[in-house]
A and B are shown apart, each in its own frame.
Chain A
Amino acid sequence: MKHNNIRIKKTATLTPVTQHDLYIVCALDAEARPLINHFKLKRLPQHSAWPVYQNPQGVRLIVSGMGKSHSAAACAYLFASTGGETGHGILLNIGLCGHAEHERGHLLMADKVIDYHSGQSWYPALVIRPQCGYTHLFSFEQPQTSYPAAGMIDMEASGFYSSAIRLTSAELAHCIKVVSDNKRQSSSDLNPALASELISRQMPSIIEIIQQLEKTQARLPTPWNRQVFDTLCAEHRCSVSQQHQLKRLLLRWQALGGAATVMDALAPCKSMQDLLRQLETELHQQSLGLSIN
């Protein structure tokens, strides 16, 4: 089989993009509800370990349950089970928190996430400037009745962040919290309806933060074209090492403009070894014609 059918124009090398590449972890259903409604998320019936929601535009949400370990596990589960590509997605932990001073309903993002018991900490990379501002976020093992740390307090963020940072970069992993209780107003009157309402009121700001993060995310390189790779691999037997080499060369081909003539020149190749050699030669010739202007 010849691969003349892979005449591909440069514009065709772009993978179709969904509107979002967003993963949200909430501890409670009540915290998740305003997000589920806003993004019109549908529950995916095949997931029984945790409730998982998704929409066709690429927003995914999981309700992890309370606690650091649940949050860490659910974050990884959501990413892996919905086809996340490492290094590309926006991963957010959205929910309620306590803060000694800030008013109930106040929105904050974390500039540092600290596991209160182990002392381990993480710094989300602050590449956006949200109106709400940043402060430290301390994660505890148990619910707190006092405010022993200078910052937000919760029970999930450190678990979420330790997991999220393995799946994406620090610019795209963040914790967004709404204050539910403080020194003057305890959490004793907090119920699901009020929790949802507190998040709902901050939805415009949360959406603005997501939009800013998506602008940042858009600066990532376009995912490479798998179509040509898959076609060539299907036509020729190839080792894992040859697959890596082919991927490197196809990325180079794409960077040099993705000329269809290069693919035409590969048509007579009988084996992957021949094809790689020929592709390397073609790309070298093409790179000699590189013009800065």
Chain B
Amino acid sequence: MQQIYLEHSIAEHEQTAKILQRFPRAHITRIEHFGEVFNPRAQNFRLQKKSPALILARKQGKRILTAPAGYGLGGKHNYYFSHMQNCAYDCRYCFLQGMYRSAHYVLFVNYEDFLADIQQQTQLNPHESSWFFSGYDCDSLAYEPVSQFARSFLPHFAEGPAWLELRTKSTQIRSLLQQPAQNNVVVAFSLSPEPVIQALEHGTPALQKRLSAIQRLQQHGWRVGLRFDPIIYDADYRSMYQTFFQQVFQQLDGHSIHSASLGAFRLPRNFYRNMLHLYPEEPLLAGPLSEHQGMMAYSGDLEAQLLDYCEQQLLQYIHTEQYHPCQY
């Protein structure tokens, strides 16, 4: 990390000190609020993505948000939170490219405030299941060596009753393997066929490495979820996804998976337009997409065909109770 922006308000925070120790050669610029650097219009996400800076900040205001309707794994109360904005990976389909103007990593170091809010939210419904989803605006584990997010948060979920989902493509699982597995935590891996990883998920671990990480976590007792989202169209998608599901479930026991979900590639229209501006040469964005109710998605019945086919393949390996289709 070459450049770190430091909010005055967290300059003396314990977490900040630990992070700064890791980057003794970084140039540090003090700022009042992360928005001064992160929000200005005249920034190019594509140019910054090659060499993003790290912004250490305090998350103010509402830290825990209600998940959209249809999002969840069967729990009654679903929330999401983001201890970080932006991701260490560079997936060409990712909505963050269209949502943010900057590719800098914003890391909110005031974990204690997030945890207090989670506790408060859980206490509102003490007898019903509350799920907290992490990894919406970032990968939950990819930045773990720096952020120590999982290491800091997991102990607070040990007593229940709240559930936590860590969404990741990362194989940074050391902190999970160094502590006992927790029943109310699901480590949800996003998986794609290797050709999709090669073409679109730049900087992410290969499929085989993700599968090996899943196996190690399962052996250690952690609950693992599988997220097949986004499903990407290819002229030969049937063969590609058939081979993919075979490969995944040759290595993993489908019935021991906590949950699986499927969702086709889709983006809010405004994000899509921003991404098209950044990557006009990207074939994915020139694909057979059309707009429906403010979302760009595969046109006509193509999306239904894709999802039906993949669902049919997936349900050969898991029970329907384990399956949670993505709805939007």
Contacts and interface: CB of A to CB of B under 8 A. Distances in A.
Interface string B49-93: 011010000000000000000000000000000000000000000
Nearest to B50: A219
B19 interface: no
A288 B288 contact: yes
B48 A127 contact: yes
B232 interface: yes
A168 B42 contact: yes
Contact of B51 (A127, A133, A255): A127
Contacts of A221: 46, 278-281
B47 A290 contact: no
Q: Max chain A CB contacts within 10 Å: which of B47, B198, B240, B288?
A: B47
Interface string B267-298: 00000000010111111011110000000000
Contacts of A80: none
B29 A171 contact: no
B29 A290 contact: no
A171 B280 contact: no
Interface residues of B, number: 43
A50 B230 CA distance: 54
A248 B261 CA distance: 34
B51 to A, nearest CB: 5
A255 B283 contact: yes
Contact of A255 (B47, B234, B280, B288): B280
B53 A255 contact: no
Given A127-B51, A170-B40, A216-B50, A292 B286 contact: no
A218 to B, nearest CB: 10
B195 A126 contact: no
B246 interface: no
A256 to B, nearest CB: 5
B27 interface: yes
Contact of A170 (B29, B43, B281): B43
Interface of A: 87, 111-112, 121-123, 125-129, 133-134, 165-166, 168-173, 216-217, 219-222, 224, 251-252, 254-257, 283-284, 287-293
